[in-house]
Amino acid sequence: MLQTLIRLAVLNLLRNRSRTTVAALTVAGGVVAFLLAGGFINWIFQDMREATIHSQLGHFQIVRPGYFEKGLSDPYNFLLPAQSEQESLVAAHPGLTSLTPRLVFFGLASLGDTTVTFSGEGIDPVRERPISSRITISEGNDLSGLEDKSVILGEGLAKNLGAKPGSQIVLLATAANGGANAIEVTVAGIFYTINKEFDNYALRIPIPLARKLMRVDGATSWVGLLEDTDGTATTIKKIRSVLPSETFQLVPWSDLADFYNKTVVLFSKQVEIIKIIIGLIIVLTISNIQTMSVLERTTEIGTILAVGVRSREIWMQFLLEGLLLGIAGGLIGVMSAIFLAELISFIGIPMPPPPGMARGFTGQIIITTQLVLDALALSTITTLLASLMPAWKASRLNIVDALRTNQ
């Protein structure tokens, strides 16, 4: 019976090819709009995620418990050892690309008569390089190694100081013993990241220089980079099992990326609103088309009812017609969207600098399997909903009135 109803639904759709084409293209247009908008948002999420990981946070950070709550104001009570068995154990973990120490410190940077505050990081330039691949050197050079006596400055900090590559600047900070300490370093280069605010205050020096300035022997965090971002949760769970929780806290990047998390929530809400608007357009259009079909086929429906076909079968037939329209339109829309996404991504989407960034970017579109499934669900569910009322009206027609409609 179901096979017969499907065959009849296909034949009924082919009876008026123009109307069926308009309906299918309406559904396809909605699917294309949804996939392109969602694919662009997906690309933004992915690019922002990787930029956040590869410029500041890594995939995870190992710190002393309570460091992120109290450590920034009192870092000396939350220092990790310079060398330890636990660090070597974590560094040897499968799937780990790099594990590097960082020493965070704050102070004043001076060049001539200009003095500004800074937020500094002592790093191992070699081990840090794969983690900080999205930090771009705009002028000069990057730090070369642990023996380097240089500093790299964020663009905003360099501008406020009036510093250029080759400038000699003095870094002044409060050491662990409470006294002031200063070192003179040469500006090796100037960098920028996706975070303009970070660039306004940040500088980096080799970690031996940072330890000398702070008069400590250790690090505030160990930053890890994994081979695959999607495997972060699994890898973190395994690493946690080998670290004593009373002395080490392992924090994934997602817990530290507040701006990224809020951006994902905001843009996800926008995609949901787009989906609702497209769904309403499809429902109204298909419902109108199905209603016209019922009016044109009133006499035919009356004849079918008169020969003993049940109302439930009429109802199912119109629902199947709507479902087939949704499937056909959805498939056409998906194929069209994938082609357009490839074409648009090849050309690129020039975007102006968003809030918090100093530079624009060239966007792309990434259509994922989940997005395709959501689009197909959107097309089929909306066409089914649009067919409910016309199908109900068709199944409830009075046989006598239906047969007399065109007389």
Q: Along the 407 residues of the chain, how does pLDDT read in single tens digits?
A: 667 767 777 777 777 788 888 888 989 999 999 999 999 999 999 988 988 898 888 999 999 998 888 877 778 888 888 777 788 888 888 888 889 999 999 999 999 889 999 999 999 999 999 998 889 999 999 998 888 889 999 999 999 999 999 999 999 998 888 888 999 999 999 999 888 888 999 999 999 999 999 999 889 999 999 988 888 888 888 888 888 888 889 999 989 888 888 889 988 898 889 889 998 888 888 888 878 777 777 777 777 777 777 777 777 787 888 888 889 999 999 999 999 999 999 998 888 877 767 777 888 999 999 999 999 999 999 988 888 888 788 777 767 666 666 55
The helix/strand/coil state of 134 is coil
d(CA 295, CA 121): 74
Query: Which helix (H) or strand (E) is 29 found in, with range?
Result: helix 17-52
Angle of CA points 181, 101, 92, to nearest 5°? 160
| Coil, strand or helix at 213 | helix
Closest-CA residue to 173 (of 138, 210, 129): 210
> Residue 113 carries which side chain, given as an amino acid letter?
D
CA-closest candidate to residue 186, choices 148, 157, 213 = 148
Residues 356/196, Cβ–Cβ less than 8 Å: yes
Any idea where the domains of the chain sit in the sequence?
2-52+261-403, 65-247
- Residue 34's closest CA among 208, 359, 281? 281
**What whole-number distance in Å separates Cα of residue 262 and Cα of residue 258?**
6
Q: Single out the residue of 66, 65, 73, 68 nearest to residue 57, CA to CA.
A: 68
pTM of the complete model: 0.82
Output the DSSP codes for 306-350.
HTT--HHHHHHHHHHHHHHHHHHHHHHHHHHHHHHHHHHHHH-EE
